[in-house]
Amino acid sequence: MSTQIQFSVQATDGKARTGVLKTPRGDIRTPAFMPVGTAASVKAMLPENVAATGADILLGNTYHLMLRPGAERIARLGGLHEFMNWNGPILTDSGGFQVMSLADLRKLTDDGVTFKSHIDGSLHRLSPESSMAIQRLLGSDIVMAFDECTPFPATKAQAAKSMRLSMRWAERSRAAFGDRPGHALFGIQQGSVFGDLREESAAALRRIGFDGYAIGGLAVGEGQAAMFEALDLAPSQLPENKPRYLMGVGKPDDIVGAVLRGVDMFDCVLPSRSGRTGQALTRFGAVNIKNARHADDPRPLDPACGCPACRNYSRAYLHHVFKAREMISSMLLTWHNLHYYQELMDGLRGAIAGGSLSGFSREFREMQDRGDLTRRG
């Protein structure tokens, strides 16, 4: 196991924790939100702009990078950090979720998955061993074990079969990862919405031993209530002294609810995807800048926000450039959304450290329930 990547919990408030995950490329403050750089780029953002929002770590996508431009090419060009000009830590997912989403284009066996590229239809294969090899070529700091993300809905029997396959793959991922000082391997808990299956999965992962533990198979259509019910158990089933990462989550209220239940790390495409589709995420909920009521509004998205979009531009301008399909629309709205997410994480860390998370959470919900400032007269 890695000896150079270490996690320490610095304060707790109920089940919530704040801490630091130390890596050779920099510290990751938790709770942490990881912007998604699917194809070695956070869409509409320069890496230095992403860093300016307060992000400590980015996420890259093994499936997409292996298809284009190719892991071997990235390795020849100095690895993913140099290739995309990001000096901080990078986590790469294993490709399991993307392969699952291919549905009819894949063939699953105990050995691995054969699938057709969504780009050109070419045939490829992913296994625990090849996923570890690809992520090694990429040079990612945090590597995810290869798993099958159980689809939803699934019967308990289907979820159990899928989870046990992932646990066999977790053991093979651990063996293939080997001893890589300065790099970490995270195992992924599965089990859908079934608490006893998640406990079985957690026990298997604890026996194998990982540097961190992810909670997979949620935010795949089960709804927030079912996700929170699973999270009432899942984080506490995983080791206390290791980081807990909820994959693919999520909306701001999803994140706050998961932090209250003991989760440390998050990723989601929502901030950047929403920015490209004209939606700003704020303390007062979502603002759809494409709506006509913003056309003559001289106010910023949020007067308390310090991002460039709020400091320097009006809602009227943001409405105009979105309607005109100017690239600056995606740039400014994405920057705002990522800034808001990092501001939210900073607020959560401070509230946990100060023992005031309950009040922070209550105020967060009240402000979100108020809605867009424009609607308040």
In a domain, 377, yes or no: no
Alpha-carbon span 303 to 284, nearest angstrom: 11
Tell me, yes or no, whether 295 and 244 share the same domain.
no
Label residue 333 left, alpha or beta by phi (over 0 means left) and psi (-120 to 50 means alpha).
alpha
Which single residue is written with the structure tokens 């159990």?
160
* pLDDT per residue as tens digits for the range 170-181: 999 999 999 999
**pLDDT value of residue 374:** 64
Alpha-carbon span 212 to 229, nearest angstrom: 22
* pLDDT per residue as tens digits for the range 107-125: 899 999 998 888 998 999 9
Tell me how many domains the chain contains: 2
pLDDT band at 99 (very low <50, low <70, confident <90, very high): confident
Tell me the three-class secondary structure of 100-112, residue by residue. HHCHHHEEECCCC
In a domain, 1, yes or no: no
Residue 273's SS3 state is helix
pLDDT band at 377 (very low <50, low <70, confident <90, very high): very low
Tell me, yes or no, whether 209 and 291 share the same domain.
no
Tell me, yes or no, whether 176 and 313 share the same domain.
no
pTM of the model: 0.96
Alpha-carbon span 90 to 99, nearest angstrom: 21
**pLDDT value of residue 98:** 78
**pLDDT value of residue 375:** 61
Q: Is the pLDDT score of 373 beyond 80?
A: no
**pLDDT value of residue 168:** 98
Q: Is the pLDDT score of 208 beyond 50?
A: yes
Tell me, yes or no, whether 102 and 16 share the same domain.
yes
Cite the active site residues: 93, 267
Which single residue is written with the structure tokens 């890589």?
180
Tell me, yes or no, whether 237 and 335 share the same domain.
no
Of 242, 268, 294, which residue constitutes the final position of a domain?
Answer: 268
* pLDDT per residue as tens digits for the range 317-366: 999 999 999 999 999 999 999 999 999 999 999 999 999 999 999 999 99
Of 252, 268, 284, which residue constitutes the final position of a domain?
Answer: 268
Neighbours of 106 (CB within 10 A): 16
Tell me, yes or no, whether 19 and 37 share the same domain.
yes
Of 214, 239, 268, which residue constitutes the final position of a domain?
Answer: 268
pLDDT band at 103 (very low <50, low <70, confident <90, very high): low
Q: Is the pLDDT score of 60 beyond 70?
A: yes
Eight-state DSSP code of residue 283: T
In a domain, 351, yes or no: yes
* pLDDT per residue as tens digits for the range 274-303: 999 999 999 999 999 999 999 999 999 999
In a domain, 71, yes or no: yes
Ordered DSSP codes for 25-87 = TEEEEESEEEEB-TTSS-TT--HHHHHHTT---EEEEHHHHHHTT-HHHHHHTT-HHHHHT--
Share of the chain above pLDDT 90, in %: 91
Residue 368 to residues 25, 180, 184, Cα–Cα distance (Å) = 35, 44, 36
Q: Determine contact, residues 259/31, Cβ cutoff 8 Å.
A: yes
Q: Is the pLDDT score of 1 beyond 50?
A: no
Alpha-carbon span 142 to 135, nearest angstrom: 9
Residue 331's SS3 state is helix
Domain of residue 172 covers 6-268
Q: Determine contact, residues 277/297, Cβ cutoff 8 Å.
A: no
Alpha-carbon span 365 to 360, nearest angstrom: 9
Alpha-carbon span 86 to 97, nearest angstrom: 24
Tell me, yes or no, whether 208 and 303 share the same domain.
no
**pLDDT value of residue 358:** 98
Tell me, yes or no, whether 231 and 191 share the same domain.
yes
- 77: CATH: 3.20.20.105
* pLDDT per residue as tens digits for the range 212-241: 999 999 999 999 999 999 999 999 999 999
Q: Is the pLDDT score of 248 beyond 80?
A: yes
Query: Mean pLDDT of all residues in the chain?
Result: 95
Tell me, yes or no, whether 227 and 100 share the same domain.
yes
**pLDDT value of residue 58:** 98
Tell me, yes or no, whether 142 and 217 share the same domain.
yes
Share of the chain above pLDDT 70, in %: 97
